[in-house]
A and B are shown apart, each in its own frame.
Chain A
Amino acid sequence: MLRRRDILLPILIFVLLAMVPLLGLVMRDGFILSLISRVMIFAIAAIALDLILGFGALVSFGHAAFIGIGAYGMGIMHAHGQSDLFIGLLVALAASALFALVTGAISLRTKGVYFIMITLAFGQMAFYTAASLRAYGGDDGLTVATRSLVMGLNLFKSDRAFYYLVLLFLIIAYVLCRFIVRSRFGRVLQGAKQNAQRMQAIGFNPYPYQLVAYVMAGMIAGLAGFLLANLTEFVSPAYMSWQRSGELIVMVVLGGMGSLHGAILGAAAFLLMEEWLSGFTEHWKVIFGPMLVLVVLFMRGGIMGLLGRIRGATARD
């Protein structure tokens, strides 16, 4: 069942995002482009998290680890003189998939809050491992000399070209997740979210489905990490701190769980609010914190919930 707004809203979002570089021509170049690139990269990671959180009730509190693994995949390849985009991407995705497979296989034995905490544990292990990589900068992180190359050419040197690369990956990630959710596989996943026992009773063991979803979510977040390393030309253990994982959850919940484009809106709202409010005062968190509380108290379902109510109200008029 695909509702009309599930098609229209994402298309609107992507069209608006595609037009941002035109805006960038008028305004201070560079800054807007890198800010929105950053928003889109975190949106990719948030979509990945929404896939398992919103559709599988698997709350990963270690999802930033995959961003870090993707980023380190790119950074380490570059450090060894291998700067090709496709090879870097392949390494980032393979490393994230492997980490997701091993940690997911163990974590999925637990449920609920215990799942939250065991994913946190694995995230922290990844964090401390990265911080101990002396050869790759340790705590201080690793500077990358150049963005990834395509056949030896630095095609994405300009911020605008790189912006469209990120947008392309965002659309791919979104469409892919949308297909996963609508497939038979996705319906088993959602069934297990609603009632795991009943799914088992009708002959589905949720475990392999959840594990595959977890691996996919890990790989997509790894993609986000690969792009983040390209954007900042820097890789650091801070990418996988537990605070980052927490922020990803906040983005998904703020946008509205289980809609995929809600995750994009949540990432945008979170990062743009941060940017905007910090322009007013260094104490912007004093404003942003209570805003989150108010969102929970009075805006159930996050941004998507609000949009749904607005539509409901106008439809009745």
Chain B
Amino acid sequence: MNFTLFLIQLLNGLQLGVLLFLVAAGLTLVFGVMDFINLAHGVQYMLGAYLAVTFTALTGNLFLAIPLALLAALVLGLALEIAVFRHLYDRDHLEQVLATFGIILFLNQGVKIVWGAAPLSVPVPEMLQGSIAIAQGVLYPVYRLFIIGAGLAVALGLHLVVNHTRVGMLIRAGSTNAPMVSALGVDIRRLFSIVFGFGAMLAGFAGIMIAPILSVEPGMGDTILILAFVVIVIGGIGSIRGAFIAAILIGVVDTLGRSFTVDILRMTGMAPSSARTVGPALSSMMIYVLMAAVLFFRPSGLFPAKGR
């Protein structure tokens, strides 16, 4: 286990973490404020990636594509909210699961019809190509550093909005006690729409950012959705701070686990052949073990929003 590899994997973990945070932030707000289980949040991420493909092809530049794709992601998110989700807020959680599951089926298949089933890709912008030295003799791709930077910037912006603006105050109040906020004269439906559109845009942003380094394909949102649920449950539903810490934790644990479990098992004296068998399984389930352990000791996550 050498230091260079460890450093690189740590950065990869951080990159996965900020990406997870972008998806989980919207999910935890929608869940916390509206008490709405949105399984279709993962497809917003997928749509973001596909929109990045289309707009990059149209404009020839990822930086021009980002604002256009963000706008489109926002519009699509709001359209879904108005057409379907709005009617589900006061329903049973399981009915929400059923309906949003239907949306997943529809959109996963829909992108296959529109963009085809084959994986697509987006070129990395020229000025972000290549690698730079981050330490003596350690090269790291510039674009991945760009993702980390952009993700952290969004996290900081979100922190400022949620903690230091009027809308943020309403969102925090909403995740503590939505009926009371409504009773105090706030148009809760409009607040819901804002939160929902914003969450859809954040997930779309994650999809746009990842498009140049991951193949864009139908169903890519399903895996990230489950990871995002793990994140918001560990962090405590409704808590942005919890989502951030849990996202970084999950990103780093998952990435380091995948790289080093086999080595660690061999260091503990396990035979190489069985270490190679057990290792991958153990590293895949590590985040779930982590979640089960967190819930065992703190049944409402690490940072539960007050009043829940």
Contact = CB atoms under 8 A, between A and B. Distances in A.
Contact of B106 (A106, A110, A129, A286): A286
Interface string A70-111: 000000000000000000000000000000000000100111
A59 B102 CA distance: 19
Contacts of B95: 253, 296, 300
Contact of A125 (B102, B222, B288): B288
Contact of B281 (A121, A129, A296): A129
B285 A124 contact: yes
Contacts of B93: 59, 113
Among A117, A131, A243, A288, the one with the most B-chain Cβ atoms within 10 Å of its Cβ is A117
Interface string A10-40: 0000000000000000000000000000000
Interface centre among B102, B230, B289 (most CB of A within 10 A): B102
A149 interface: no
Contact of B292 (A118, A285, A293): A118
B94 A289 contact: no
A175 interface: no
Contacts of B110: 286
Interface string A112-131: 01100110111011001101
B277 interface: yes
Given A120-B226, A128-B284, A289 B278 contact: no
A121 B288 contact: yes
Nearest to A62: B288
A118 B222 CA distance: 18
A284 to B, nearest CB: 8
Contacts of B278: 132
Interface residues of A, number: 42
Interface in B95-115: 95-99, 101-110, 112-113
A246 interface: yes
B299 A110 contact: yes
Interface centre among A53, A250, A285 (most CB of B within 10 A): A285
B3 interface: no
Interface string B208-250: 0000000000000010001001100100010000000000000
B229 A117 contact: yes
A288 B105 contact: yes
A106 B293 CA distance: 10
B285 A289 contact: no
B104 A124 contact: no
A242 B42 CA distance: 15
B120 interface: no
A113 B97 CA distance: 12
Interface stretch (B9-17, B84-92, B175-183): B84-92
Q: Which of A106, A121, A129, A292 has the most CB of B within 10 A?
A: A121
B91 to A, nearest CB: 7
Q: Which 6 pairs show the lowest CB-CB distances between chains A and B?
A: A292-B102, A289-B106, A132-B281, A289-B105, A285-B109, A121-B288
30 contacts: A59-B93, A106-B292, A113-B233, A114-B301, A117-B229, A117-B295, A120-B229, A122-B288, A124-B288, A129-B281, A131-B281, A132-B282, A242-B226, A249-B97, A254-B98, A283-B109, A283-B112, A284-B109, A285-B106, A288-B102, A288-B105, A289-B107, A290-B106, A291-B102, A292-B99, A292-B102, A293-B84, A296-B96, A297-B88, A297-B99
Interface of A: 53, 59, 106, 109-111, 113-114, 117-118, 120-122, 124-125, 128-129, 131-132, 134, 242-243, 246, 249-250, 253-254, 257, 283-286, 288-293, 295-297, 300
Given A243-B222, A296-B95, 10 more contacts: A109-B295, A109-B299, A113-B233, A117-B291, A124-B284, A254-B98, A289-B109, A292-B101, A296-B99, A297-B99
